[in-house]
Structure formats: structure tokens, C-alpha cells
Structure 1
Amino acid sequence: MVIYLVSTLSIKTMIKRLVLAFLILFCSNNTFAQKVAIESQLDEVSKLITARKYQEANALLTGIDSNKISKNSVTKGRYYQQKARLYYYHTYEDAKAVGYYYKAIQLFELNKSNEDIGMAYSNVAGILTDLKDYKRAEQAIEKGTPFVKDNKVRYANLLVNHARIKAAKGDYSQSAESNYAAIKLYEDAGDKARVSFGYFQLGVIMEQAKQFDKAIDFYNQALTIRRSIADTTGTINVLNNLGIVYKNQKNYDKALDNYQAALELAKKYQRPILQINPLINLANIYKRKENYVKAIATNNEALAIAKDNKRDNDVPIIENNLCEIYLITSDYNKALPLARSIVEYGKTKGTLEEKISFHNNLAEALYGTGQKEEGFKNLQVAFDLRDSLYRKQGAEAIADMATKYETEKKEARIRLLASEGRLQRLALNNQKLELDKKELEIDNRDLQINTQHSRIKLQRSQLTQQQLVTKQQQQQIALLDKERSIRQLQIQQKNIYLAASAIALILIMFAAFRYYSWRKMQESMALQREKLRISQELHDNIGSQLTFINNFVQSFEAENGQALKIKEARDVTANTIRELRRTVWLINQPEFALDEFVIKLRDYVRPFETGKPLISIIAADELADHILNPTTATHLFRIIQEAVNNALKYAEASQLDIIFSKKGNALKVEINDDGKGFDRNTSPAGYGLKNIHSRVDVLKGHFNITSQHNHGTRVEVVVPV
């Protein structure tokens, strides 16, 4: 019974333990999965920030429940680090970014996550340098260096920040040296964005050193790289700094161009915060150029953006700029509220120099509005602050001198102790030197013996080697001679082949050209012979018959009383004979000068000159030497003939002009009459117009006819010649 009870209890205990183990395992797995998910989300946030997708990154980071992250874990540190990056890059809240970076560093150091420590110190050093907190920046660089020595980019980041601190302290040579070293590391790492950042910082250093031409060169190098990698933010910053350099050189037009380019880019990519600095700088240029209206408008635009985006550090700067412009323009009522606001800001922030300026501006505004008593009080405050500034500067100078004195005392003491130690070491070294000298003499004797043996062996070896080299050189010379002979033979063969090919090609081309010319000449001669045969047939056969008919009609007219009809028949026959002769002339000629063509045309219209219309033919002098081929001459003559016949039949005109002129490289012919005209929309095109169209198309020319009732008709033909 006891044994059974014990067994039962043991089984129950085992079951409980198994359930408890399962629950522990389930919870630990769930926690692990949760941790992996958060780590993955943080990696995505980091990528989005690197890609400058700050809003998406902020939304994703806000969605992470930080309470689910273990309090003292590396993951919590990485969460703080991403918050710091967003404060720095997205909302430009540098002080908050520093705070979160130090929270992250504390957790990284607790968990000995060396890579994360180095990254965080590298980033916070840069922000502290921006904030001009050089002491803490140097401490961050010193602490971070051991953790980033093996990472080129992060070590280079620390070097850049070190360079910025040196530049701020006036050590431009050391600053440039550190910056060049950083650029080399960025280039080795293949990080173009960081290389451009290095050149940008070199530009800043040269600007601080008043070496403006060098600053412009470095800024332009940074600008080229940033544009090539589509770095909008970086491009805007470089353009803004270029504008500042040009302003310092008093090249205000170039300064304006760069500020304007930076502003337009910021507006294009909807980066309102990046619009603030270009606007402030543009306003300062307008102020220097005494364009106060534009300066005020531009400052107001910047002020609105700064207030909308809660840029508390920018608002007083812009208000102070506006206040100074209103004071210059004696608009004291507008200057006064701004001056009061700036003095209020100066109670908690700003340097002594800035506070003195704030109170001076308020005093001037108060005097301008008649509040002299309060103005005098502010003037007194400005004087007191100036005294404080002088005392502070004096105290700093004394402290520097005291520090320098203490340092020199320590260095002198160290030098004294070092010299005493050196004397003791020197005595021991002398004793050792004597022993070494004796050993050296023994070694020298052994060395001389060994050297003689070695020299003999070396000479033998050199002789053998020299003989071998001589033999190899002789073989190489023989081989080179053989190769040279082969090459020369190949070149000669190739040249002979090329020359023969060229001669053959020239002969073939010459023969082809001669054959083509002969064929063309034969075709031309055959065509001319055919033309001559046709013209002879027309002249000898049809011409002789028409002449016979004409003579017969004349004799018949003398014998018969039907004189009028017979006369008409005779006229028609005579016209047919003239037309036949013109056709024979057109066919028989190989080419026509235009003046010859015009003469034949005048022969054609001569029978119509006895009545109306009065026909005139006008040809420009510059066309006298123009040559027409038979086809062009024939078609052109028939086109003019058709147009003249239409005018004679239907126009009832008193004047008919045929005008030849040049239109570019073409011949233009106009046939104008002052007859009754016709409406092209209602009058159908007859066979004559269609025939003209057809002939113009054959000549690849253009044809146009314009006419109105009682305003005559104008036919225009343009053909290539």
C-alpha cells in the first residue's frame, strides 16, 4: 500500500514537472520569436533611414511596442539607436538624438556589444561636433576608436569628426590631413556617399580657413558625386554652402543662383525643413543689395516653415534678421515685438555676443517708438553683458596661461627625470658595449674567413650562370631572327595580295563604268534616231498631206462661193500644220534653252494677237540660260497651251499674262487673266484641267488654280528643272 502510494505520487510529480517544463519551453520560444520579429523590424527601420524614407521608418518604429523588449538587452539599445537616428535625420532634434545615443551606448557596453558601441560613438561624435560641444565630441572619438579600427567607414567617420574639431580650433592643416585620410578609407570601402561627405567637409575646412577658391573646388567635387547618386539632401546642403562661399567673396549673383537652386530642389522633393537655410541666406543677400521688400518676404516665408515644423532654434534667428531689416527701414513698430521675442529667447539660450546684439536691437526699437527709459535700461544690460564677455575672455586667457605654465613645469620635470635615467642607462650601455666589441672582433674574424669561402663559391656560380645566360641569349637572338624573317615574308605576301586585289578592283570598276557609259550612249543615240524617224515621218508624210489639203482648199476657195466656210477650213488646216511643226520641233530637239522655248511660245500666241485678250509673255533674265529636257518642254508647252485655250474660250478677258520666274531650284509659270472667272465649288473640272493635273504629276511638280466671279483666273505651275 505504501509502495503504491509512493508510485502514484511520483507519477503525479513527474506529470506536473513535464507540464511546467512545456510551459517554460513554450514561453521561451514565444519570447524568442518576439525578439526575432522586433530585431527584424529594427533592421527594416535602419534600412528605411539609410534610404532617407524617414516617414515610413518613423511609422514602423512607432508601431514597435518597446515594453516588450527586454530592459537591459542589446535589442533595447538598438531601439534607442534608431530613435536617435530619426531625431537627427528626420526632425533635426540634435539634443534628443544625443540623449538616445548615450542610452544605447550604456546598454551596448553592459552587453559588451563592441560593434554597436563603435557605431554609436561614431554617430554621437558627429552630432556633438554639429552642436559645437567639442569636449564631449573628443571624448566620444577617443572611446569609439578602439571599437572601429577594423571598420574603414566607421573609423573614417571618426576621423572626419576629428578634422571638424581641429578646424573649429583653427588647426586647418591637421584638420585637412585627417579629412584626406578619411576620404582614402571611404574610397577603399567603395562608399561614394561618404566620399562626397569627405569632400564636403574639406570644403567647410577651406571655407573656415578663408581659402574660398579651394572651398569651391571641394564643394563642386562633392556636388558632382551627390548628383550622380541622387542624394537630394546632400545636393541641397552643398548648393547652400557654395552660396555662402560666393557671398563671402561678394559674388552675390552666383550666391543667389546657388541658394535658389537649393531652394527649388528642396521644394521639388517636398523637404520644407531643408528650405529654411536657403531662404535665410537668400534674404541676407537681398538685404545686402538693399532690396528690403524681397528680404522681408523671404524671411517671412522661412519663418512660417520654421514655426510649422517646430524649428525652435531657427525661429529666433529669422526673427532677429527681420528685426534688423525693420530697424534699417525705421519701421520700429514692426521691429519692437520681434526684438522683445528675441530677448526672451536670449534669457535661456544664445552666446554672450548674441545676447548683446539682442538687447541693442531692443533698445533701438524702444527708442524708435518713444520708449526711451526702457530703451536705456536695455542699453545698460547690453553694456553689462559686454563687460561680462570681456571678463570671461580675460579669465579664459589667464586659465590658458596657467595651464600652459603647469604643462611646461611638468614637461621640465619629466625631461629632468628622463635625463637622469638616460645617464644610468648610458653607463650600463658602455659596459655592455665593451663586451659586445670583443665579441664583435671574434665574429669579424669568423666572418672574414666565411666571406672568403663564400666569395670563391659565388664567383664559380656567377661564371657558370654567365655562361648559361650567354647561351640562352644566343638562342633567343637566333629565334628572333627567324621570326623576323617569317614576319617580313608574310608582310610582303600580304602587300602583294592587297596590291593585286586593289588593281583588279580598279580595273573591274573602270570596265563597269565604261560599259555603263557605252550603254547609256547607245540608248541615247537609239532614242534620238527614233525621234528623228518619227519627226521625219510626221513632216514628210502627214505634213505633206496637210500642205496639199491647204493648197487644195485655197484653190477651191477661189473657185467656190462658200468663201467663209472654206476660209475656216483653211485656217484650221494652217493651224494644224503649225501645231505639227511645233510637235516635230519638240520631239526632234535633245534639249531646250528657256529663251528658245519662249520664242516658240510667242509663235504659238501670235495668231491671237489681233483681238482680245492682249497676250504678254514675261521671262525673268536669270532664266535665260535654264535648260529644259524634251519631256519637260513638251508637257509644259501643252499645259500653257491648254490654259491659254481655256482663257480664250471662256474668260472674256482683256489681258492675259504668261510669266516665267524662278522658285528655289524650280521653274514657276503663271497664266493670269482678268476675265469673268468661275466658282470652283460649283463648276466641275473638265478634261482640260484633268489633263493639266496629269501632266504636272508626270513632271513631279505642283499645280494650283484660283478663280472668283468677275475677278479673273490664276493658274500656277511649279516644275523642277
Structure 2
Amino acid sequence: MIRYFALVLCFLFAVEVSAQKKVDSLRAVLTSKAADTLKIKALNDLSYELVETDTALSHNYAKQALKRSEAIDYHEGKVEAWYNIAYFYELLYKRSVAVMYYKKGIALAEQKNLIRAAATGYQDYAVVLKKDREFKKALELNLKAITLYKKIDDKPHLGIIYTNVGNCYSNMNLPEMAITYHIRSLKISQELKHNSGITKAYNNIGIVYERSGNFEKALESYLRMLEPAKAAGKKSMLAAANGNIGSAYVNLKQQAKALPYLLTAYNEHLAMADKARIALDLNNLAACYNDLQQYNKAYKASIDGLKFACEAKDTESEAYAYITAGAAMAGLKDHNKAQRLMDTAYTKSVQVGGPAVLMAMYEQTANVYRKTGDYKKVMEFTDKLISLKDSTYNAEKHAQIAALHEQYDSQHKDKIIAENALADLNNKIQISKKNRLLGGLGGSVTILLVIAGLVGRNMSLKARKLESEKALAAAEAEQGMLNEKLRISGELHDNIGSQLTFIHSSIQNIRSQEGGRDQAVLQEAEEIAVKTIRDLRQTVWFINNTTFTADDFAIRLREYVKPYLSIGSTAVNINNTVPADVQLSSAAATHLFRIVQEAINNAIKYANASQILVDMHPTEGSGGVSVIVSDDGGGFDTTVASAGFGIRSMEVRAEKAGGKLAVFSAVGKGTSVKVNIPVG
């Protein structure tokens, strides 16, 4: 341990020496014969370098930079100085003053067309808004920064801003949009071969999936962190990757796979003395040990995790530590202690207020009371769990519907603009026609030139009119489609969804009551309700989104086939080699999903298949996506049954998606359904 701290001290000393050399170099510029603009830049750089270590001196340098910039009317220097002063007030928690200086800098940068400076201002101002949880306003500023960085082709900053936008969407409960922007950040990092950026992008994508409850997809993203984290040589990133992978395996109830990753992450974070991450790792280990019924180990990990969480002042980790400790005590049949721990967990979880920790607390508290036979308390916390799950789902759906409304309003504005432009062009064409009546004066050459000019102008106006008519038609079509999406999504969500949720909750309440009869019937009814709710959410998901990655599509397929795996002897495997950034349109994804769904249903219901393989791969030479659904069932004679087994329906869907479908089968030799869908 002494050796470890010595190494840390050496490392910190090296960092301090490097930073001090930079500060000394900048100070040397101030005493040199350098140009005024270079000295102003040095002052601003000094302010930036010292803001965390010597805030007062940093502020003084920024004021000097501003004073000198004003003396020679140096706009870039003034803008940067205002940004540095703004950050100084941020550190003093004087947000309103900080915002004032950011706005001053942005206004001057825009006025003088300082593109990079304006983009930086929007980016920094958005950070302030995000801290104040004004995510929508922060999003607007980040989107403005994106437009500016694109103008100067600043890819490194674009990658950062895409990440910021993704985080805003995530905080606004719009996971699909969040993932879209994190993927854009990922692409830039891959293009720049920036391994740290690649690692962070996969981490952010995984977090969004994990918060949405899509643990399989989260695991895939976390696993992809490992290679770039190793290449970047960042121990903290590698440790985070191992911890996230372990956490995903815990959520998937694959504890044997989770343990090695969690232990590795724990040891790595311990070596770095990262108390917050150590607490998180120990909580995950405790949850893993509880699932393995190793309750003594679980309790020890929980208590150790609680100690580190308290030192890190991480209330959320404290809440999870009490939850896992309570579950461990319940497993050890110390019910009184378990209840006391869960009472504290309740208090901490309410302080945090996040749905994930509250749901974990409600679920484990219900389990503790179930073991003591207090079914009244079981019902109380089960009801809270169901209510929170439903409200969380409803909040996500309402946020998605609100996003559709915003998109609808935008399209409506585009339509009005197109209509106004079209009316303006019609007026200009009428004026042009009147102008053609002028002109009997002058020589023939003049007349010809006038006519040629008028004809050319008229043709140009007509071409612009045609473009406006096309834009208007496109806006009307888009508006109509969005209007229909809003109607269908709202109907499904508000009517059918709420009724099914009520049925599901009612069945769970009845089954939880002691002495409930007809349990088998209730079990079957609950399974049907759960399946219908899942199918409904899947349908709404397809409706609400405009594009899907191939990985998203594969995950939806896995969710679809899960029920078959638990009730029958058919094994369904999915193989996906389509690149992660390949995207399908909403229509193409829907048609492709229904084709695969029909092929799987046929293989199970009619062919008595024991093995089904769904293979997704890039279409050779076309850049599209190909999917082959093959089975080892009885097969059929395609010359006799070509119109049956839903084949015609699949062919129609393939045609609507712009693709082709082929069916290969023979009696006793299984069936293969191949569909090619274009992308882009």
C-alpha cells in the first residue's frame, strides 16, 4: 500500500511539473516583445490553466486580457476573456452572472462572424443550463454549436457536441434520439482513430440502453469498450468497462459471468482509489452474491460499499448498499435487521428520487416482507413498484409523443413557408408576363436581348416555382404522415395501453393474495397480458421512430423470440454481422420485422422445426441488408404451396420495402426464406 501511494505521489508530481512548465512558458510571453494579440492570448490561456488551482489569479488574468483587448479593439480576445470570467463565476455558483458573460461573448462572436468562438460559447453556456436541469434549452444551444462547427469542419468538437446532445436527449427520456447522437459521436471518433472517444461513446450508448432496461444491448455496447480502452492505455476506462460489463450480466441474471468482471473492476478502482466507483463495484458484487445465495459475502460487500459511498458522498450508492444489505439479511433470516436496513434504504432512495433505485428498493422490500409473511406490506410495496413502472413508461411515451408534436409543428411551419414562397413566385411570374409586353423601342438586337433575358428569367422563375411546389408537396406528405403517427400512437398509448396495464396490475394483486384460487388460470391470463403489453410497446416503438440501426432491429427480434424459447422445444438463434451504424427506415424495419416474424411462426406452427436460424448480414455489392430465416422442419413443395404459408404476404412486404424475397424449400429438407432490403 505504501508503494502504491508513492507511485501516485510521483505521478501527481509529474503532472504538476508539466502544468507548471506551461504556466511559466505563458508568463514568459507576457514579458517578451511579442505582439499585443499574442500577449492577450497568453493572458487568456493563463486564466484557463489556473482556474481550478488559483481561481482569484485566474480571474485577474482574464480581466487583464479583457482590458488589453478593449484597448486595441481585439474581438477574439474580448470574447475569450468573457468566457473565462463566466467560468470563474460558475465556480462561485453565481450562475446568473456567468450566463450574462457567456451571452456577451456569444453576441460579439456572432456580430463579428467569429464562428469558432460563437460555437464555443454555445457549448459552454449549454453546460450551465444542463447543470440547472434545463435540458431543452441546453439542447437548443448544443444544436446551434453543431451547425457552427460543421461550417468550419471541426470534427473533434463535433464529436464532443454530439455526446452532449445525446446526454440531453437521455435526460429528456428520449433514448432513441440519445443513441442516434452517441452513434454520430462514435463515428467521428472512429474516423479520427481516437480510442478514448470510441470508448466513451460505447459507454454512453450502453448507459442509455441500461437505463431503458435493454440490458442485452447495454452489454453489447460495454463489451465493445474493452478493445479501444486497452488501445487508449486508460486504466480508468478499462476499469469502467469491466464494471459496466459485470453490472449488465447481473441485470441479465448471469452471475457466474458477472463475477470475474466485477472483481477485476473492483481491484482496478481500488488501485486508483476511486471511492465512488469502488462503492458501485461493491454494490454490484453484493447483488451478484445475493442472487447466488452467498448471503454472508453479499452482506460484507454491501457494508464495505456503504463505507466508500459515504466517503464519496454518493447518496445513490448508499441507497443501493442498504438495499443489498437488507436483501442479504433477509436471506440469512435475520428479518428484523433486514427490515431496519430496508427502512433506511427507503429514506435514501426517496432522497435520490431516480426511478431505477426506487424500483430496486420497492422490489427488494416486498421480497423481505414476503419472507416474513407480512403480505399486507408485500402488497403495499408491490403496488408502488407497479405504479412506478407504469408511470415511468408513461413518462417516456409522453416525452416521445411530445417530440413528435414538435416535429409536426416544424413540418407545419415548413409548409407555410413553402406556401408563401409559392405565392411570391406566382406574383413574380405575373409581373414578368406583364413586362414582356414592353419593348417595341430600340433596335432588333436590343429587342432580342430583352426577350432572351425575359425568357431566361421566366424559365428561372418557373423552375423555382416547380421546386417550391415539390417542397410544398413534400411538406404536406410529411405533415400528413406525422399527423397520422400522432393519432395512432396516442390512441394505442392512451386507450389500449392503459387498459392492459390495469388488467396486468389487477391480476398481480389477485395472485399475491394469500389463498388465491385458480392460480393456473391467473398465471395464463397474466402471461397473455404481459405479452400483449410487450407487443403493444413494440408496435408503438416502430411507429414513433424514423430510423433504426441493425443492432436495434436484432434486439427487437431477440425480444420477440424469447417467449418461444420458454414454452417449446424449438431453438431460435440470431446471428447479426451487419455493421452497427447501418440504419433502416421505419417502413423498411417494420416490413422486414413482419417478414421474419411470419417465417418464424410458419417454422414453429406448421413445419415442427427444432432449430431456427435468423442470419442478418450485409448484402454483397449493394450496401443493403439481407436476412435469411432457415429451419430444419418438414419443408414443403414450393410448386404446390407457393401461394400459401403467408408467402404472398411476405413478398408484398418485401416489394413495399424496395427489396426482394425468395423461398427455398423441399419436403423433408426444411425451409429458407431470404429477403434483401436496400438501405440509405
TM superposition score normalised by structure 1 = 0.41
**Structure with higher RCO (Cα < 8 A, 6+ apart):** 2
Larger radius of gyration: 1
